[in-house]
Structure 1
């Protein structure tokens, strides 16, 4: 029987899909007998994230380490790399798995420093969108994408969480020269349960980070447009935390919607999903957002922008997909979901498809196979 692995996950912000992804991997791999730890930022997150960390701590035999990790690349990264290096070296990992652009950078730099110190460690990177949202046409985007190509030299394997991400990497960074795998995000068996809508629920809910990339401003405009299309007032909620909360509150007030659109802080996903029958994902850019999987598994309707890997879940020709950045098109679909009695049952993909394709145990098993493959190759190379 193979020896248990020592696995460290490194990422910046413990918020949103990356955090969910790492929690699922940590739980699945810990239950399989492996030792797992997390290194992430200490500057972001609040009470909601603290509660999620408490949930996952029993699966973190290598502990939880939080250090300041800034979003932008700067000289502040030097002490971060040094602190991360000392912490990770003391944990003696077999695998360093970086998530997101900053987590991926730190993992590959620290992993390569360990390699230089004659320490064998597998360096794995999952982008989760991250730097792949940048464009080559801008100076900043060109720099970030060139950094991705450079860092590939210090990578043992790349994981793409959807085909969109794989195609984006090939077109913006280049065809991978290192081992790569497509491994879809997955959710747990316990997520596949119908979540009843509260008696005081609203017509539509947005669940996610409150920043422009995710489109809360488009959601607010689309709710106003939908009211005109259906001919009556509607209620809605934005649920989440982020840097633009005050801006969205002002936008709601200026639109005269303060009594009909509320804003609540981030909460447990079951509680958020209970607020409405229909979840709206108006993002300007995505990879493969967990909220789409979680909502479908809870028997909710999903209306989303046609971005990232979302069409791989809803179907490439789904009537639930709106043109990116188009509040009017989003409102058209939102109105249809209200006016057509069986819209959700007719348009949403079957739960069996979601269960089969987007499974956390399958995801964790495929990731573990990749770890083993890298380590086996390293062992053979040393002979």
Structure 2
């Protein structure tokens, strides 16, 4: 069937770091392995040696290539140059799918895709917010302007793709009920990440892993750890792994509370290597969307405690005993004490492993995304007769 031909897919996003970059890499690798042609357009001014190494790994799988050009975080005159250069590069690649991730990536994909549509190319335009504009407050002038801009861009959008129901609900609350097709496609982790991690002999009781900034709750972790010791009635051990702007604040906090010897600190490392250094992973964020670190820890078979924020309850189930009240050290400590003292805690508190893998694997994510791409191309061809991108 003609509609089952290999697709030409280009992902546009700004910063090649963090969850968006991981999401795009996973999709690109999965779709390339399935025989599709994939390319990436992203910023050239962010990222470092680590991100360069990741690009080198994925580049052999990008048959449509990698285009890096300056894309500033703030809206400004430089956006016009980025759009023009991006348009010239993307036009020459003749894509079927333009998928924008994050606010700037979404603008690139939708504006450029719309110009291609005017020129009779059959290209579908998708946008995944990944938080992005949704972090702004509608009550501020900047937030109100950005929400209005997002609403305006819906007219250039064929589908909005959300990584969790929470993100979709936030979009509807802040921007308005979508006027275009929407889909909720969960993030997923790769098959090799479902291999259980075995704790090392010197593993600590509790691990915090993530950015060292208040949004992610390292201060709550330290407070809850001290409360857990009091609940259990003896000293425990913990480790904080990560880097960030408030690292010195947390170092000072644990020393002031007399926890310097019982809470170690280490720089950021690969998640699975970090998991092997603990028996229980604690993720005390004040805000999240659909965090990969939760998925990675559960896939690795780790006991995981998290806060009831963003899309996290969609992973565990809304009534899971593993979910603490956000910004509440006592709630977190009580769960930490229960998990530490009860060997069977994880069996009842954590998601069923089979259902978890069915919902949150790269295989599921990439298959659902590909089905959406194909359905949009059919709709686009029916609504706007146009020559295919591979003219």
TM-score clears 0.5: yes
* Partner residue in 1 for 2:177: 175
| Offset at residue 25 of structure 1 (A) | 0.7
Distance 1:247 1:11 in 2: 32
> How far does the alpha carbon of each residue in 1:295-335 deviate from its partner, in whole angstroms, 9 at most, with x for none?
11111011111011111111111111111122222222122
* Partner residue in 1 for 2:389: none
Distance 1:271 1:220 in 2: 22
Secondary structure at the counterpart of residue 67 of structure 2: strand
| Offset at residue 221 of structure 1 (A) | 2.8
* Partner residue in 2 for 1:358: 360
| Offset at residue 361 of structure 1 (A) | 1.4
Aligned pair partner of 1:16 in 3, 15, 18: 18
* Partner residue in 2 for 1:296: 298
| Offset at residue 250 of structure 1 (A) | 4.3
Distance 2:151 2:270 in 1: 37
Distance 1:361 1:298 in 2: 17
* Partner residue in 1 for 2:85: 83
Aligned residues: 383
Distance 1:296 1:124 in 2: 29
* Partner residue in 1 for 2:270: 268
Q: Which runs of 5+ in 2 are unaligned?
A: 386-391
Distance 1:142 1:82 in 2: 27
Larger mean CA deviation between 362-371 and 124-133 belongs to 124-133
* Partner residue in 1 for 2:241: 239
* Partner residue in 2 for 1:306: 308
Secondary structure at the counterpart of residue 203 of structure 1: strand
| Offset at residue 37 of structure 1 (A) | 1.4
Instruction: Decide whether the 8 Å contact of 1:305 with 1:323 is kept in 2.
Output: yes
Distance 1:346 1:71 in 2: 43
Distance 1:68 1:218 in 2: 37
| Offset at residue 180 of structure 1 (A) | 1.0
Aligned pair partner of 1:214 in 193, 216, 226: 216
Aligned pair partner of 1:336 in 332, 338, 345: 338
Map of 1:42-191 to 2, 5 A cutoff? 42-191=44-193
* TM-score, with structure 2 as normaliser: 0.89
> How far does the alpha carbon of each residue in 1:81-113 deviate from its partner, in whole angstroms, 9 at most, with x for none?
333333323322221111122322232233233
Secondary structure at the counterpart of residue 235 of structure 2: coil
Cα pair distance change 1:253/1:54, threshold 3 Å: farther
Instruction: Decide whether the 8 Å contact of 2:122 with 2:381 is kept in 1.
Output: no
Q: Which runs of 5+ in 1 are unaligned?
A: none
Instruction: Decide whether the 8 Å contact of 1:162 with 1:309 is kept in 2.
Output: yes
> How far does the alpha carbon of each residue in 1:143-175 deviate from its partner, in whole angstroms, 9 at most, with x for none?
322222112111111112212122222222111
Cα pair distance change 1:147/1:217, threshold 3 Å: farther
Distance 1:223 1:15 in 2: 30
Cα pair distance change 1:146/1:263, threshold 3 Å: farther
For the aligned residues, what is the CA RMSD? 2.3
* Partner residue in 1 for 2:388: none
Larger mean CA deviation between 119-128 and 262-271 belongs to 262-271
